[in-house]
Amino acid sequence: MNNLVILPLIIPLITGIILMFLKDHVRLQKTVSVISFLITIGLSAALVQTVYKKGIQMHELGDWPAPFGIVLVADLFSSLLVFTASIVSFCCVLFAFRSIGKEREKFFFYAFVQFLVTGVIGAFLTGDIFNLFVFFEVMLMSSYVLIVLGGTKIQLRESIKYILVNIISSALFVIAVGYLYSVTGTLNMADLSVRISEVNQPGILTVIAILFLIVFGLKGAIFPLYFWLPGSYEAPPASVTALFGALLTKVGVYSIFRTFTLLFYHDQSFTHTIIGYMALLTIIIGAVGAIAYWDIKKILIYNIIIAVGVILYGVTLATPEGLTGAIYYLLHDMVIKGALFLLAGAMIVITGTSKIKEMGGLIKRHPLLGWMFFLAVIALAGIPPLSGFVGKLLLLQSGLETENYTFVAVLLISSLLVLYSVMKIFINCFWREPRLSAEQEKGSTKGLLYPPFMLLILSIFMGVGAEWIYPYVAEAAQTLSDPSIYIHSVLKE
Amino acid sequence: MKVNDLVLQTVAKVIVFMIIIFSIYLFWTGHYTPGGGFVGGLMASSGLVLLLVAFDVETVKNVIPFDYKMLIATGLLVAVLTGLGSFLFDVPFLTHTFGYLHLPALGEVSLATASLFDLGVYLVVVGVTMTIIQTIGENE
């Protein structure tokens, strides 16, 4: 028993409940949110350190042993994600303090953010496939509310699409779990892995694996299933989009990693080839979208899709270096997407529009915002001293070692296109002749810049301090590439 | 046109108590027979809905002056605190226990901490159902 595993999950839950009682006291809500996030970040940092020092930690809910009860399992992969997710959501909430507005704050905005974080952290930590479904629903229910809260026309329209797609994918998830349960007779992930390797994954289990790929692909927006994402992520305010862009699709990607490294790894020539092609097409579609639009939000949203493709290809590079690269890129991408959406939110606050052609010359009066955006852009593209470089380098290296030359070419070209698409924002919005004079500006950036600044500092640290972070990520990849470590520490055989 | 619904209102006043008592019965017997917090909560809120049908929203609000949104939060808090209580005894989250008690009128009864968790579920279900129905009902 280790309470450290469950506390990062319980604290946002209790905070959400307390915030419901504080409906009319906005200042108190903010204070409680900040305190709870600081505690969650501290505890999840302690969790990372404990798992690194002592191996996989777990918590058996209700004191029932592993295959019978629900277990929460923290290996290094999930605890690193919990740590990053709590930092990014903290920064998004700090941004919301200044930008979200009274009418949303009074209707349980901060409570729903806490419930969203509960769902995300729970999905990372759980060791039971039906419990994973429940935490997906906790996360999605809160995201439905956050996407529609405020009730503008575009939010209502896009939330209908978003809810429709997610309800269908949740129904598919239940069906897939039902099939898996009828074949194996268990729901615990470690036990599932043992049972599947006993029968060596016959055809029916490969079908179920593909069904899971479709379910998690719908949640994580990979190639033929990404269609709902560009519209839905454009609708809500910037701090909510940042929260979604940094966390929600990554939970889908995490689940694909977990299921295809722990459960369905016996028929790699079939399943992993399909994942590989889907990942490549996801990168290509994302790149096409990113260079096509002249709208800040749209460009950044298509960059999410590119990153999902890049990370997903890491599953098929079943080498430890490939997985290390993918995990590093996953952590980097959560941080940098949060920073980019928050910076874009600040630009939209100033200009009142998200169309690139209606902006210009912002660097004159907002030099700090401009250079922060520049830094985020080159970190996203993967320029050496910053965080995007390490992950991409490792991915390229193992792509060359395993002779996946198509992937190497697509990754390098997509990096160029990513750089072009975001540089287009920087050059056209910050340089050129100023479009707005000081009194024409729609709002001030007072207090809006320090949350993305914190994320940028973290991103620089992840690049410069790669020496410190690399052992953690490599250890996480080690656990992923050898399922027996996970199984032995959960089932204690 | 004013409808005379004297029969409905008179019947409702009697029936509501029966429904609520039946919901409490379902809640208490959930450990050994079909029932429990969820269906008990739904039954209780169906009694309150009958009041809403027989009278109007304003009257019911005066008779039962609950803020149902706070009832949801209270129910959640009860459920989570029941889970957290197990930390005091150094056992994992949501570990439950039970014991046999000799009560004056009822004789030997078994009491389980799981029923506290169920109480939380009961309150949340009543709160959620009534919030949905009242919000839709009030909307012009």
Q: pLDDT tens for residues A399-445?
A: 999 888 999 999 999 999 999 999 999 999 988 888 777 777 777 77
Using an 8 Å Cβ cutoff, are A61 and A7 in contact? Answer: no
Buried b / exposed e along A87-112 (16+ C-beta atoms within 10 A): bbbbbbbbbbbbbbeeebbeebbbbb
Phi then psi dihedrals of residue B96, to 5 deg: -110, 160
Packing angle, helices A320-351 and A466-481, rounded to 10: 120
Whole-number pLDDT of residue B1:
54
DSSP secondary structure string for all residues of A392-405: HHHHHHHHHHTT-H
Both structure tokens of A78: 């999930």
A106 in contact with B, Cβ within 8 Å: no
**Contact at CB, A60 and B92, closer than 8 angstroms:** yes
Whole-number pLDDT of residue B5:
86
Given B77, B94, B96, which is nearest A17 (Cβ)?
B77
* CB atoms closer than 10 angstroms to residue B16: 18
For the segment A383-398, the average pLDDT, to the nearest whole number, is 89
For the segment A97-124, the average pLDDT, to the nearest whole number, is 92
Contacts of A17 in chain B (CB under 8 A): 73, 76-77, 80
Q: How many CB pairs under 8 A join A and B?
A: 38
Using an 8 Å Cβ cutoff, are A114 and A89 in contact? Answer: no
Give SS3 for A291: helix
Phi then psi dihedrals of residue B111, to 5 deg: -115, 130
Given B73, B77, B93, which is nearest A61 (Cβ)?
B93
User: How far apart (Å, rounded) are the C-alpha atoms in residues A135 and A119?
Assistant: 5
A25 in contact with B, Cβ within 8 Å: no
User: How far apart (Å, rounded) are the C-alpha atoms in residues A59 and A52?
Assistant: 17
For the segment A370-392, the average pLDDT, to the nearest whole number, is 90
User: How far apart (Å, rounded) are the C-alpha atoms in residues A131 and A110?
Assistant: 24
Using an 8 Å Cβ cutoff, are A344 and A352 in contact? Answer: no
Please, what is the end-to-end C-alpha distance for chain B in angstroms? 20
pLDDT tens-place string over residues A331-343: 999 999 999 999 9
Q: Which helix (H) or strand (E) holds A60?
A: strand A57-60
CA atoms within 13 A on the CB side of A348: 21
Phi then psi dihedrals of residue A117, to 5 deg: -65, -40
- Nearest C-alpha neighbor of A422 from the set A466, A464, A463, A388: A388
Please, what is the end-to-end C-alpha distance for chain A in angstroms? 17
pLDDT tens-place string over residues A440-478: 777 777 788 899 999 999 999 998 988 999 999 999 999
**Contact at CB, A21 and B73, closer than 8 angstroms:** yes
Suggest the residue from B89, B93, B123 to mutate for an interface test with chain A (most A CBs closer than 10 A): B93
For the segment A303-315, the average pLDDT, to the nearest whole number, is 92
* Weakest-pLDDT range from A105-109, A124-128, A186-190: A105-109
Q: Which helix (H) or strand (E) holds A341?
A: helix A320-351
Whole-number pLDDT of residue B107:
78
Report the share of chain A in percent with pLDDT over 90: 74
Q: Residue A89: pLDDT above 60?
A: yes
Residue B96, beta-bridge partner list: none
**Contact at CB, A59 and B93, closer than 8 angstroms:** yes
- Nearest C-alpha neighbor of A110 from the set A183, A27, A215: A27
CA atoms within 13 A on the CB side of A273: 4
User: How far apart (Å, rounded) are the C-alpha atoms in residues B76 and B101?
Assistant: 27
Strands (E), chain B: 98-103, 107-112
Q: Which helix (H) or strand (E) holds B82?
A: helix B68-88
B91 in contact with A, Cβ within 8 Å: yes
* CB atoms closer than 10 angstroms to residue A250: 28
Whole-number pLDDT of residue A74:
93
- Nearest C-alpha neighbor of A396 from the set A468, A482, A324, A306: A324
What is the DSSP secondary structure assignment for residue A267, as one 8-state letter?
A: -
- Nearest C-alpha neighbor of A429 from the set A367, A359, A489: A359
> What amino acid occupies position A145?
V
- Nearest C-alpha neighbor of A391 from the set A451, A333, A320, A349: A333
- Nearest C-alpha neighbor of A356 from the set A303, A416, A423: A423
For the segment A314-326, the average pLDDT, to the nearest whole number, is 87
Give SS3 for B102: strand
- Nearest C-alpha neighbor of A76 from the set A332, A321, A331: A331
Q: What is the mean pLDDT of chain A?
A: 91
Phi then psi dihedrals of residue A464, to 5 deg: -70, -40
What is the DSSP secondary structure assignment for residue B30, as one 8-state letter?
A: T
ipTM of the complex: 0.91
B70 in contact with A, Cβ within 8 Å: yes
Q: Which residues have a Cβ under 8 Å from the Cβ of A460 and sit 6 or more positions away? A: A375, A379, A385, A386, A387
Packing angle, helices A268-292 and A296-316, rounded to 10: 160
**Contact at CB, B91 and A1, closer than 8 angstroms:** yes
A3 in contact with B, Cβ within 8 Å: yes
Phi then psi dihedrals of residue A492, to 5 deg: 55, 50
Phi then psi dihedrals of residue A73, to 5 deg: -120, 125
pTM value > 0.90 = yes
- Confidence band (pLDDT; 50, 70, 90) for A72? very high
- Report the gap between the CA of B51 and the closest CA in chain A (Å): 27
User: How far apart (Å, rounded) are the C-alpha atoms in residues A124 and A73?
Assistant: 9
Give SS3 for B110: strand
**Contact at CB, A14 and B94, closer than 8 angstroms:** no
